[in-house]
Amino acid sequence: MGNFRFLHSEWPDIYREASEAEGLAFTSPKACAIICRSALEKAVRWLYANDPDLSEPYDTKLASLMHERCFRDILKPSIFREINLVRKLGNNAAHGHSISRDESLIALKNLFRFLSFMALYYAEKEPVIPGFEESHIPFGEKKEHDLAELQRLQDLLDRKNEQSRIERQQLEARAREVEELRRQLEAQQQEVKERKTGREQVHDTDKEIPLLVSEQLTRKLYIDQSLKEAGWINFRESYDIEYEVTGMPVSTNPSGTGYIDYVLWGDDGKPLAVVEAKRTMADVRKGRHQATLYADCIQARFGRRPVIYYTNGFEIYFWDDTFYPEREVHGYHTKDELHLMVERRRSRTDIRRFRVNESIVERKYQIEAIRRVAEAFARDDEHGRLTGGARNALLVMATGSGKTRTAIAITDMLTKCNWVKRVLFLADRNALVKQAKDAFGEHLPHLSSIDLTKEREDPGTRLVFSTYPTIMNKIDAVRSDDNRFYGAGHFDLIFIDEAHRSVYQKYGAIFAYFDSMIVGLTATPKKDIDRNTYELLDIEDDNPTFAYELDQAVQDEFLVPPKGISVPVKFMREGIKYSELTEREKEEYEEKFGDPTTGEVPDEIGSEALNKWLFNADTVDKVLLYLMEKGIKVQGGDRLGKTIIFAKNHEHAVFIEKRFNKLFPEHRGKFLRVIDHYENKAQDLLEKFVDPHAERNPQIAVSVDMLDTGIDAPRVVNLVFFKMVKSQVKFWQMIGRGTRLCPDLFGPGVDKKHFLIFDYCQNLEFFEANPDGTEGKTIKSLSQRIFEMKLDVVMAIREAGAPGETEASVASGEGSGSGDEGAAAEAGASIDKEAAADDGVSADDLSEAEAPPDDEDFELAGDYTGQLHRQIHDLDRERFVVKMNLRWVLEYSSAKRWGNLSRSDVADIKRNIAPLMLPAE
């Protein structure tokens, strides 16, 4: 029955794959390694589904699941190293690398040990674990498979595992929906936990699951596999391995002869690197001095100093001691990458003396930021020679101050000074990736670039733009002509757009994997940046490499400030402030609620009450009416300025759109639009909304994530926070949507000076942001003012005196809708002179008129009277605001009513009808 028969009753799927791998260990080692990896993945996913102590990370690939701290805590370090080797061997087999029979046997044995551990602690019926017997493995002629066959096998197994994962998620979803199933699932998990806890007290895994592969052999295999991943294969004895050197100090070796574990050779026949492999589990850095001595011998013989690696198989340290201190890396560099490092010793120039390209950046603070990065990255050694300093930098720059431009200029500096060849720019959404790529392409067109979310990589690409999940997928991807694998040394520089804790927590593996310099960019004020971000970038708390914050940018007149506006309705969130949370609570808050890729958050805070409030028609109507009345207007007050409403989710956004179209049908569904990932024309709508040159519909964008960050929209003057923001970083990004300058926004020479924040969910209070406040103002539109001025002219002419008999345009029925209405406008109708002041016309102006009105004046009054009557008569009575004032509209739609207007009539018209006027098309 084979070595894995103890799995048959409880884990038949895992048993089937493990047995299949066992049957192929000697006859098809590559297939065996791939299937071992698949069986391992099934087992790991089963543990996550059933052990309540395990919580899935954001990324659910096998590597991420295995490296999650909660998972590593349930294993002995030796077992973790063994199954990580199973994963690596399976990956290398799928990539087409050779796998020996010995290696496939090791993968099988390591899988056996792990599955024995799982059965011993988790099986419902306590199993008897047999000893591993190689005699169960059939022996036959070794078969070779081409890469396409292996990839088909890997794809098939991946599909099966993905289907199992989806089925489990569906089961869990149903369990959450059905209370009884949920209780059963929880009870089952608790039973598994108690079973495991009880067995841990009576079983010793070291005794009952004996070591099958020695630590020394495991270490050597780790080194071999990691070197293979970087393209170092086909090692030759006495040349690539155990290379003999002379000239070692006699204190170390009396014979003066030494043997280097690995030498990595260049195409010119000279060594590029030496690798010293410690043969014990001692601190890997104990190999540092030995490796230095080997490098001295190599330099003396070949005239070139190699770079140095020292490792115990599991940890790798890299040291180019001509320029940088040693550092831990997570893989070896390729031949081309090592050649480039050696070449840079000659070609690299001092970035501190670089003249910044002012066609890319011209503002003093941007140039200062670049100089600060240069001073952080470059140092002088004790002899005054150029050497490397820090490898990380953090730039705090307010949204709209030119972070991307600054990043472009930094790239220009580092490439021209030969510090950097390939650059990775990471952002959290596709739109921001495209925006960054376009900006780099405009200023650095000589550097080839790709958007990794849409295009295929090739070896010559200099600038790569990607989202975090996309690059993680590429790291694990199969190496082939169509889908290039990224090695640990592929990039020399990484930009992190909006560097913050959530990014590091969810995607920290990216920055650990690549051996590159890192520049973090963020708009979050430096006092609000969490300690984790500083720590991960190895930067002193509250002391970023450079900071240029909103207050300073406003003072320097590069950005405009926000003004908070008191709103009539507000949802009362919990009575806490972000600053009052402990560091642990802040971390938990960000972990639960912050999501750098979607901005979506669970309804953990006041979910039931909040949803009821957000989706209440009366609430939404009040928010929209207040916005339309009090928001900053453009085009002489006729049109609400560009506005972003931050909605809770797609359903909330659609509900807002529905209510707006009901309240304001005159805009025919074009004025306000939802812009999110559900809208298939989102990109087109977005481009129209952010047009810097014109007020194009949509004028109001209801955003669910797409406009929360990174979008340049200088014409935006109103922000509506209609959701709780649960991330400090996201909050400041959203504020930044309104800060950009916009000259001539309100007319020639009348620039944007500030923007308004309508906060309905107490976000300003929670994050203790205190922008200057302003009272809401009802601004008369240009159309309303013209309407009222025409009315004032009519009243002024009528008051000045009536002719004997004059026909107005309305009297002849022109534009009045019916014959009897036309008789209403008696041009000579009298009006109290005191009404002039109420009508907006100065009584003094009227009394000082040099001459009474003539027939031409009365003709003008009659013409205006007809126009005013027609405008009221033609109002759309389905409009919500017209319905609210329907009594007045009906009354003054009658032409007869215009024959003799009193002072109170004029006041009624101005108060109740004039605000209803819409601009002409």
Q: Which of 878, 671, 915, 873 is nearest to 787 (CA)?
A: 915
For residue 122, the one-letter residue type is Y
Q: What's the pLDDT band for 810 if we cut at 50, 70, 90?
A: very low
**How many angstroms separate the CA atoms of 49 and 43, rounded?**
10
3-state secondary structure of 24: helix
Q: What percent of the chain has pLDDT over 90?
A: 31
Lowest mean pLDDT among 243-257, 275-289, 768-782, 845-859: 845-859
> What token pair was written down for 833?
């002179």
**Counting beta carbons within 10 angstroms of the beta carbon of residue 826, is it exposed (0 to 12), middle (13 to 18) or buried (19 or more)?**
buried
Mind spelling out the 3-state secondary structure of 805-858?
A: CCECCCCCCCCCCCHHHHCCCECCCCCCCCHHHHCCCCHHHHHCCCCCCCHHHH
Rounded average pLDDT over 465-489: 70
Q: What is the DSSP letter of 656?
A: H
Residues 865-917 have pLDDT tens digits of 888 888 888 887 777 678 778 888 888 888 777 877 777 788 888 888 888 77
3-class secondary structure for 153-214? HHHHHHHHHHHHHHHHHHHHHHHHHCHHHHHHHHHHHHHHHHHHHHHHCCCCHHHHCCCCCC
pLDDT of residue 130: 85
Structural contact between residues 322 and 345, judged by C-beta atoms closer than 8 angstroms: yes
**pLDDT at 776 exceeding the cut of 50:** yes
AA identity, residue 700: I
Distance (Å, whole) CA 291 – CA 152: 42
In the numeric block, the tokens 């009277």 are attached to 865
Nearest in space to 278 (alpha carbons), one of 237, 309, 255, 250: 309
Tell me the average pLDDT across 591-595.
50
Query: What is the value of pTM for the model shown?
Result: 0.69
pLDDT greater than 80 at residue 617: yes
Give the pLDDT of residue 183: 64
Whole-number Cα distances in Å, 79 to 66, 85, 99, 201, 213:
11, 10, 21, 19, 11
Q: What is the pLDDT of residue 216?
A: 77
pLDDT of residue 272: 96
What is the SS3 string spanning 85-118?
HHHHHHHHHHCCCCCCHHHHHHHHHHHHHHHHHH
DSSP percent split of the chain into helix, strand, coil, nearest 5: 45, 10, 40
pLDDT of 711 higher than 80:
no
Give the pLDDT confidence score for residue 601 in this predicted structure.
Answer: 43
Q: Which of 664, 394, 436 shows the shortest CA–CA distance to 545?
A: 394
Which of helix, strand or coil describes residue 440?
Answer: helix
Q: What is the pLDDT of residue 103?
A: 92
Question: How crowded is the C-beta side of 215, counted as CA atoms within 13 Å?
Answer: 11
**In a 3-state reduction of DSSP, which class is residue 421?**
coil
pLDDT at 324: 92
Backbone angles phi, psi at 212, to 5 degrees: -105, -25
Residue in this structure with the two tokens 């289907």, named with its chain if needed: 163
Using pLDDT thresholds of 50, 70 and 90, give the confidence band for residue 347: very high
Residue 545's nearest CA partner among 407, 404, 377 is 377
CA distance 45 to 22: 21
The owner of tokens 């304001």 is 664
Look at residue 469 and tell me whether its pLDDT is greater than 60. Answer: yes
CB–CB of 377/353 below 8 Å?
no
| φ, ψ at 563 (rounded to 5°) | -130, 125
Q: Does the pLDDT value for residue 167 go beyond 50?
A: yes
pLDDT tens track for 250-280: 877 788 898 999 999 999 999 999 999 876 5
Whether residue 494 has pLDDT greater than 80? yes
Measured CA to CA, the distance from residue 229 to residue 122 in angstroms comes to 35
Give the per-residue SS3 of 292-330.
Answer: HHHHHHHHHHHCCCCEEEEECCCCEEEECCCCCCCEEEC
Task: Using DSSP bridges, classify how beta strands 493-497 and 517-522 pair: parallel, antiparallel or unpaired.
Answer: parallel
156-165, 238-247, 833-842: lowest mean pLDDT where?
833-842
pLDDT given for residue 217 in this prediction:
83
Q: Are 488 and 330 spatial neighbours (Cβ–Cβ below 8 Å)? A: yes
Helical residues (DSSP H) of 356-429, grouped into ranges: 364-377, 403-416
The Cα 102–Cα 98 span in angstroms is: 11
Region of poorest pLDDT, from 94-98, 350-354, 359-363? 94-98
CA distances from 102 to 33, 145, 213, 571, 710 (A): 11, 17, 11, 66, 52
Closest by Cα among 161, 170, 28, 216 to 105:
28
Question: Is residue 29 classed exposed, middle or buried when 0-12, 13-18 and 19+ CB atoms within 10 A define those classes?
Answer: buried
Residue with tokens 């990589």: 457
* pLDDT at 62 > cutoff 50: yes
Phi, psi (rounded to 5 degrees) for 759: -105, 110
Q: Is residue 303 very low, low, confident or very high in pLDDT (cuts 50, 70, 90)?
A: very high
Is residue 850 scored above 70 in pLDDT?
Answer: no
**pLDDT at residue 600 above 70?**
no
41: helix, coil or strand? helix
Range 438-457 average pLDDT:
91
Cα separation, 828 vs 362, whole angstroms? 67
Q: Which residues of 258-267 are buried (b: 16+ CB within 10 A; e: fewer)?
A: bebbbbbbbe
Cα–Cα nearest to 43, from 1, 4, 89 = 4
Q: Provide the pLDDT for residue 685.
A: 86
Residue 409: phi and psi, rounded to 5, are -65, -35
pLDDT classification of 836: cutoffs 50, 70, 90: very low
- pLDDT score, position 821: 32
Select from 456, 478, 481 the least CA-distant residue to 466: 456
- 144 falls in which pLDDT band (50, 70, 90)? low
* Cβ atoms within 10 Å, residue 595: 20
Q: Which residue has the higher pLDDT, 614 or 839?
A: 614
Kind and range of the H or E element at 513?
helix 501-513
The answer to whether the CB of 390 falls within 8 A of the CB of 538 is yes
- The closest alpha carbon to 642, from 586, 578, 588, 699, belongs to 699
Q: Give the pairing type, strands 257-265 and 241-246.
A: antiparallel
Quick one: pLDDT at residue 270? 93
For the chain, how many residues are written? 921
d(CA 813, CA 615): 49
Examine the pLDDT at 652 and tell me if it is beyond 70: yes
- Give CA–CA dist 333/339, Å, rounded: 10
Percent of the chain with pLDDT over 70: 81
Q: 763 or 293: whose pLDDT is higher?
A: 293
- Contact between residue 690 and residue 713 where contact means Cβ atoms under 8 Å apart: yes
Structure tokens given for 704? 């669910």
pLDDT in tens, 521-561: 988 877 766 666 777 777 777 788 999 988 899 899 999 98
Q: Tell me the mean pLDDT in the region 19-48.
A: 92
pLDDT above 90 for 351: yes
- Cβ atoms of 498 and 432 within 8 Å: the answer is no
Give the per-residue pLDDT at 737.
Answer: 87
Give the 3-state secondary structure of residue 362: coil
**Where does the pLDDT of residue 281 fall: very low under 50, low under 70, confident under 90, or very high at 90 and above?**
low
Tokens representing 144 are 């070779």
> What DSSP letter does each residue of 779-808 carry, written as one string?
PPPHHHHHHHHHHHHHHHHHHH---SS-B-
> CA 104 to CA 30: how far, in whole Å?
7
